[in-house]
Amino acid sequence: MKLLFIADPLETFKTYKDSTFAMMREATARGHELMACGPQDIMWQRGGRVTAFVREITLTGGAHDWFIAKQQAPDEVPVALADVGAIIMRKDPPFDSEYFYATHLLEQAEREGARVFNKPRALRDHPEKLAILEFPQFIGATLVTRDASDIKRFHAEHKDIILKPLDGMGGMGIFRVGPDGLNLGSIIETLNLGGAQTVMVQRYLHEIVQGDKRILIIAGVPVPHVLARIPQGSEIRGNLAVGGKGVAQPLSAHDRAVAEAIGPVLAARGLMLVGLDMIGTCVTEINVTSPTGFQEITQQSGFDVAKVFIDALEAAVV
């Protein structure tokens, strides 16, 4: 089967930890053919089908020059997405206008017969910060607003809070404000741009010292190990991108119950792969664009996450 990965440039991959690379490696081991492109390589014209200009790639097994591309820009091959066995949308956030437009092109490709994972409409309908609003029973105290006075009121009530933009990833733009309220006004101005930009505010969860847990859910079923991303030093963020330490742990009974409640709901909407983030007993984010953690969990626990993902992908396109 031919698989097309829509992702960030392959040259930027850190293969020792990249989950998309883990998917590619498992797919290659099963004899699937790989192609890659970015969202900017997708086009549609009246009278034709949604087409991507792709590079056909093979993996070398090397750590640095890890792939060989049959084509280089500007000589990529045009391929109708409906003619591809499966399309794996793995473009990292930000979820900006261009990402939004890409999901519409991919949805048109679906109407023409393409099979896209995660489903484009589901990607649009589940922005990663705001998707938790559907499951208030599993989240902590949370506010979403553009109004500075709302944020100040929330801080007065909860004393210790986290503020974050809705379109970030990897811990970008996250601030903590303690009971003294130091710099709260400046932080609000930075994040909400004078009321022009919506901000999420959450009560600070002290359980973060045990880790921000990434629970991977594949086809509605949680992976039996989580990746606890533990902040290091004076850092409040556990994200691996800012130096957090990733520790694989068995899935607890409570976290399993939460994942089993949320996972099938999202899978039924076309979200084959979900990264559920939890601090303590609270869900903090639902990641659907490019959930990570495959390699860390596999290396530390022995549970082959990529194998389970490709199993689910193959079952979905039969």
- What is the per-residue pLDDT across 241-286, written as a single tens digit (0 to 9) for each? 767 889 999 999 999 999 999 999 999 999 999 999 999 999 999 9
Among residues 25, 55, 90, 229, the one annotated as catalytic is: 229
**Which listed CATH number (2.60.98.20, 3.30.1490.20, 3.30.420.10, 1.20.1440.230) goes with 141-204?**
3.30.1490.20
Structure tokens belonging to residue 306: 């990529």
Known active-site residue 287: yes
- The catalytic residue among 128, 214, 255, 296 is 214
Measured distance CA(245)–CA(258) in Å, rounded = 24
Write down the H helix ranges in 82-198.
97-111, 120-125, 148-158, 184-192
Question: How would CATH label the architecture of 2-125?
Answer: 3-Layer(aba) Sandwich (3.40)
Q: Which of 118, 192, 239, 287 is catalytic?
A: 287
The model's pLDDT over 129-175, given as tens digits with 9 standing for 90+, comes to 999 999 999 999 999 999 999 999 999 999 999 999 998 777 788 99
Q: Is residue 285 among the annotated active site residues?
A: yes
Report field, pTM of the whole predicted structure over 0.75: yes
What top-level class would CATH report for the domain 207-313?
alpha beta
Told to judge if 159 belongs to the known catalytic residues of this protein, a careful annotator would answer: no
pLDDT band at 94 (very low <50, low <70, confident <90, very high): confident
Among the residue ranges 107-116, 177-186, 231-240, the one predicted with the least confidence is 231-240
Catalytic annotation present for 75: no
Domain boundaries, the chain: 2-125, 141-204, 207-313
Whether 96 sits among the annotated catalytic residues: the reply is: no
Q: How do beta strands 282-287 and 273-279 pair?
A: antiparallel
> Do residues 34 and 28 make contact, with C-beta atoms less than 8 angstroms apart?
yes
Residue of 18, 26, 255, 285 with catalytic role: 285
The dihedral over CA atoms of 307, 308, 313, 315, expressed in degrees to the nearest 10, equals 110
Which one is catalytic: 25, 91, 119, 164? 164
Of 86, 78, 118, 113, nearest in space to 102 by CA? 118
**Predicted local confidence at residue 57, as pLDDT:** 98
